[in-house]
Structure 1
Amino acid sequence: MKLAYVIAPGRGKTNELLAGVADALGERGLRLAGTVQLDTERAEEFHCDMDVLVLPDGPKIRISQYLGANARGCKLNPEALEMAVAATETQITKGADLLIVNKFGKQEAEGRGFRHAVGEALSRDIPAIIGVAGTTVDAFLDYVGDAEELPPEPDALLSWALEATGQTK
C-alpha cells in the first residue's frame, strides 16, 4: 500500500501545497484523481468560500455554504462534498496513477466524505497523498493503519509521488 499524508501548518497551506503538486504532476502526464481545494477569501469576513477542483479537469464544486458574516458554525455543504466524492470515484474507476485528496477531515473521521474513495483507490493499488487536518490525524491513522507522513514541502511530495507511481524525476 502506497499511502502518504501531509499536514501543513497555517490556514490554507495544505490546500496550496496540494494544488501546486497536482499541477506539477499533471504537467508530467500523470493521470490524477481526487480533489484540490481552492479557497476564495471574503472581504471583511472570517470565513472564505471553499471550492474543490475535481482532478484532473473539473468540475469545480463549491463545498461551502454561506451562513452569514458572523457565523461560527460548520459551513461545509455535505451534499456538495458528496458530489465531489462521486466525481472522484468515477475518475478512480476510469483509471488513475495517483489519488490526491485535499483533506481527511471531520466527515471522513466519521465514516463519510472521501473515506470510501481512499479505500477504493488503495484496493486498486493506486497510490494516494492525503491532506490531513491536525485534529483528525488519529482517526486517519486508525482508518488506514499505516501511512508515511511527508514534510509539507513541494519537492518531498513530488518525489514521493513520482517514486510511488514508478515515474522518474
Structure 2
Amino acid sequence: MTESLPLAAVVYDDGDPIDALLAQVRAALEGRGQKVGGVLQTPCAETIHAVHIDSGRTFDLMQNLGVCATGCRLDSGALAEVAGLLAQSLAARPDLLIVSRFGRVEAEGGGFLAEIGAAAASGQPTLVGVARKREADWRAYAGDFAETLPCDAAAVLAWRDSLAT
C-alpha cells in the first residue's frame, strides 16, 4: 500500500454529518486499540460545544451576547483554552489527532492553526474537518502537504491505515 501524507482534510458539504463521521472514526480506531486525541465538536440547538477527546472536557464555544447583539458570538477565550488542550493532545503523540474544524478563524491565522501546523511539522497523523466553503482557504494553507478525503469513514480509515506506524 502506498504511504499517504500524515495531514488530511475531510472536506464536507452543508448537511454532511461531519461530527458523526469524526466520532465514528475515533470509535473505530479506539476499537482497534489505537489512541486518538484532539477535539471533536458537538452541535447543540443554539451553541457549539468542543469536546477534548483526551480529558472528556466540554467547552461552549459561543457567547450569549443578548437578543439585540449582532457581533461575533465566538468565545475567543474558550477557543484559546481548547487550543491549549489540543497542543497537549499533540504532545501525547496519539495514533491520530483529530481537529474538528478548519474554519474562518483558522483561515484568518488563529484558532487551531498553530496546532495544525505543529502537527504537520512533526509528522503527526492529523485529521481536520474542512467545510467545502473553506476548501480554498485550506488549500492556501496546506498546499500539497495534505491529503483531501471525502466525507466517508471508510476512506478516512483507509487513509489512516496507509500511514507508517
Mapped contact 2:13–2:131 kept (Cα < 8 A): no
**Cα separation, 2, equivalents of 1:72 and 1:23:** 38
Aligned residues: 160
Distance 1:16 1:149, change over 3 A: same
Structure 1: 5+ residue runs without aligned partners? Answer: 42-47
* Equivalent AA in structure 2 for residue 59 of structure 1: R
**Cα separation, 2, equivalents of 1:6 and 1:32:** 16
Instruction: Tell me which moved more, 107-116 or 132-141.
Output: 132-141
Q: CA deviation at 1:111?
A: 0.8
Q: 1:86 aligns with which of 84, 87, 108?
A: 84
Q: State the identity as a percent.
A: 32
Distance 1:135 1:91, change over 3 A: same
CA RMSD, Structure 1 to Structure 2 (Å): 2.0
TM-score calculated relative to the size of structure 1? 0.84
Residue in 1 aligned with 2:104? Answer: 106
Residue in 2 aligned with 1:27? Answer: 31
TM-score calculated relative to the size of structure 2? 0.85
* Equivalent AA in structure 2 for residue 143 of structure 1: Y
Instruction: Tell me which moved more, 127-136 or 157-166.
Output: 157-166
Q: CA deviation at 1:33?
A: 2.4
Residue in 1 aligned with 2:43? Answer: 39
Distance 1:52 1:12, change over 3 A: farther
Structure 2: 5+ residue runs without aligned partners? Answer: none
**Cα separation, 2, equivalents of 1:117 and 1:54:** 14
SS of 2:101's equivalent in the other structure is strand
Distance 1:16 1:67, change over 3 A: farther
